[in-house]
Amino acid sequence: MSATQVQQTDEKPQFYLTEDHHPENSTMLGFWLYLMSDCLIFAVLFATHGVLGRNYAAGPSPADLFDLNIVAINTAMLLLSSITYGFAMLQMERNAKMETLVWLGITGVFGAIFLALELYEFYHLIHEGAGPTRSAFLSSFFTLVGTHGLHVTFGIIWLITLMVQVGRHGLIPENRRRLMCLSMFWHFLDVIWIGVFSFVYLLGVIG
């Protein structure tokens, strides 16, 4: 047996990958696919509200229930959080760790205010007897707005988790990739809320 054959027989098979297990391109592609699936969920909820949004069951209508001033403030909080997240990403590109954390923290505060106002609105509606079981309109409203609120809640939890990771490990490539994914998710929620504000609140009150 030749030396080359002996060397080949002595080589052990490798059952693991030596390259990066989570390449950046595949991570971003996977997250885009997730966002597309979320788009389908919200499309179904918007369509459901479009069908049921006029079924008041002799109960209150949007004009009787919604305070557009509070909704406008709520919308401003979420839009401002999107701007501050953009500032955080700019600081990330400059490799400024502390500035990135500061802007992420401000983003989280705006998101928390948004959630607090939304919970206040839900409490007020239920206290007035306009809960999700009052009519088909209110069922679709609570489902759509509540689903968006749950997404914002998960986004804030994700934001806090990333702030801890960045604080401990800095702006390493893995954290940069995660911050990019959260940025896409956060801006996606802004776009969805603009649809909610226009389709559910404005058209509901004006129409």
- pLDDT truncated to tens, each residue of the chain (207 aa)? 555 554 455 555 554 444 445 555 677 788 889 899 999 999 999 999 999 988 888 788 888 888 899 999 999 999 999 999 999 999 999 999 999 999 999 999 999 999 999 999 999 999 999 999 999 999 999 999 999 999 999 999 999 999 999 999 999 999 999 999 999 999 999 999 999 999 999 888 886
pLDDT at res. 10: 53
Q: Compute the distance between CA of residue 154 and CA of residue 149 in angstroms, rounded to an integer.
A: 9
**Residue where the block lists tokens 């986004």:** 155
Q: What are the helix and strand counts (H, E) for the chain? A: 8, 0
pLDDT at res. 147: 96
Q: Compute the distance between CA of residue 38 and CA of residue 44 in angstroms, rounded to an integer.
A: 10
Distance of CA 153 to the CA centre of its chain: 8
Task: Label residue 59 left, alpha or beta by phi (over 0 means left) and psi (-120 to 50 means alpha).
Answer: beta
pLDDT at res. 17: 47
Other C-beta atoms closer than 10 Å to the C-beta of 190 total 16
pLDDT at res. 14: 52
- HEC assignment per residue over 128-183: CCCCCCCCHHHHHHHHHHHHHHHHHHHHHHHHHHHHHHHHHHCCCHHHHHHHHHHH
pLDDT at res. 80: 97
3 phi/psi in degrees, rounded to 5 = -65, -35
Task: Report yes or no: 144 and 49 within 8 Å, Cβ to Cβ.
Answer: yes
Global confidence as pTM: 0.85
Task: Report yes or no: 151 and 81 within 8 Å, Cβ to Cβ.
Answer: no
pLDDT at res. 6: 47
